[in-house]
Amino acid sequence: MSRNEFGNKSARSRAHLTLVQSMPLLLSSDDHETWWSYFERKYGRTQVTYAQAMETSYVRIWSELNKMADTWERDKQGLYDVFVVLFVMRLADRWMINRGDIDDYTQMAAYYFSRIETGCLERLTTVVQSLHGDLASMKYGTYLDGIASYMADSLLERPRDSAMPWFEVYKLLWTTVLNDQELQKRERVRLRQLAQNERLGTEQCKMAAMLLACLDFIAGDDENAWERITTSQAHVEVEAWFPYLADMASAQEWDRLQRWLLWLRPYMDSAYLSREMEIYLALWKELQGHADVESAYRETMVRLLPSSFWEYESFLMEKEDYRTWSDACVMLGLSPLHLGVEVLKRAEKADAKLLLPVYHHAIEKNIKAGNREAYKSVVKLLKKLGSLYKKLKETSRFEAYVKQLTEQYARHCALQEELKKGKLLI
């Protein structure tokens, strides 16, 4: 940066600081637009250069803004706090967009974003629980309209990889402070207009359709929600629906939960992160405890292999279905060296023969890898395979197999060396 650029930047910073220091305090009588304008002018330009500063800034901003409303009437204070949470979440999204300015973003950002996410949800949940039920009839309608508008705008503008729980917040607010028929009617009209607005980008139109689907869900109109998402070709963010599904489980709406899990299944492809897969299958497992869905649960795990393998393995162990487990290991090319010791012991105790194909396929796979480390793994696998054949009183078959390998791969010097070290040459 040149001296002139540095000087200009410093001058702008000083001017901004002077403006902020001269800003009057917010009043309970101010409208929500005045509140939001104040938030933006005082904190909207907050920048962070390292990940921990995100949480530090979040705590400071929340504390300073929250303190302003300490003496206000309870419901007005609560509505104000909702706006503060929405603002902080939007600010966190900006930090994500500008992540190139954060030195340790890759290493630490996920941790601090998760802390901000948890903090925002906890604060918002506490706030809505403190509010009276029918705020719309208490002359707070314009504030509620403002919350609905800012929240929808935030979702339309959020980065695709936002770490903030916008969909969960959307559901929380529309089932609590915004739970009013007239408000929902106005929101639906506004979202329909956005979804059909050709001047908006395609992704924003799809997001408007997604939010309409969220309102359909809240109204219990699942079929319409699915049709709306499918028709709009909106990107299905599976993790966004998990809080909704968790609410079904809490309400013991088991039939409805099963329908949603089945509808989401095609979107749970094998590329999904283990965390999302774990949550999805955990919901299936909880459902299994309350409904006759074993067949559907099993089919789901099979369809989602290999990402679902560990849950599928646990299911098969409970059923003592060791043959299917063995077939799955072979099909997926899993090495016994990467499987749980206790699982291997259980399978061996049940029927040692079922382990033979698992070891044979793993040995062949490691030989084809063609490197020294893989050959060392071959020796480990062969030694265990030998003990299995011995247990089955079929040592001659093992000796014949080792002889065949030795002859077949006679030109693989490194393999021959490792077999010799392992005292496996016959």
Q: Where are the domains of the chain?
A: 1-179, 239-319, 322-426
Check residue 273 and give its pLDDT: 65
Query: In angstroms, rounded to a whole number, what is the distance separating the alpha carbons of residues 318 and 179?
Result: 44
Query: In angstroms, rounded to a whole number, what is the distance separating the alpha carbons of residues 329 and 358?
Result: 6
Query: In angstroms, rounded to a whole number, what is the distance separating the alpha carbons of residues 270 and 424?
Result: 39
**pLDDT by 10s per residue, the chain, length 426:** 444 443 444 444 444 444 445 566 788 888 999 999 999 999 998 888 888 889 999 999 999 999 999 999 988 999 999 999 999 999 999 988 888 778 777 778 888 889 999 999 999 999 999 887 677 667 888 999 999 999 999 988 888 788 899 999 999 999 999 988 889 999 999 999 988 887 878 888 888 999 999 999 999 999 999 999 888 877 788 888 999 999 999 999 999 999 999 999 998 875 556 788 999 999 999 999 999 999 999 999 999 999 999 999 999 999 999 999 999 999 999 999 999 999 999 999 999 999 999 999 999 999 999 889 999 999 999 999 999 999 999 999 999 999 999 989 888 889 888 888 888 876
Check residue 2 and give its pLDDT: 44
DSSP state of 270: T
Burial class (CB in 10 A: 0-12, 13-18, 19+), 328: buried
Query: In angstroms, rounded to a whole number, what is the distance separating the alpha carbons of residues 68 and 362?
Result: 66
Task: Measure the CA angle with vertex 165, ends 163 and 168; round to 5°.
Answer: 160
> Which residues are CB-neighbours of 126 under 8 A, at least 6 positions away?
none
Check residue 19 and give its pLDDT: 46
Check residue 23 and give its pLDDT: 62
Burial 234-258 (b: 16+ CB within 10 A, else e): bebebebbbbbbbbbbeeeebebbb
| Amino acid at residue number 300 | T
The alpha carbon of residue 48 and the mean position of all alpha carbons in its chain are separated, in whole angstroms, by 24
Check residue 426 and give its pLDDT: 63
Check residue 109 and give its pLDDT: 83
Check residue 336 and give its pLDDT: 97
Check residue 384 and give its pLDDT: 95
For the whole model, what pTM was predicted?
A: 0.82
Which residue stretches of 70-221 are H helix?
Answer: 74-97, 105-130, 141-157, 166-174, 181-195, 202-218
Query: In angstroms, rounded to a whole number, what is the distance separating the alpha carbons of residues 5 and 423?
Result: 72
What Å distances lie between residue 164 and 92, 154, 158, 346, CA to CA?
Answer: 8, 10, 9, 43
Query: In angstroms, rounded to a whole number, what is the distance separating the alpha carbons of residues 172 and 155?
Result: 14
Are 127 and 82 within 8 A, CB to CB?
yes
Check residue 51 and give its pLDDT: 85
Half-sphere exposure of 166 (CA within 13 A, CB side): 28
Check residue 68 and give its pLDDT: 92
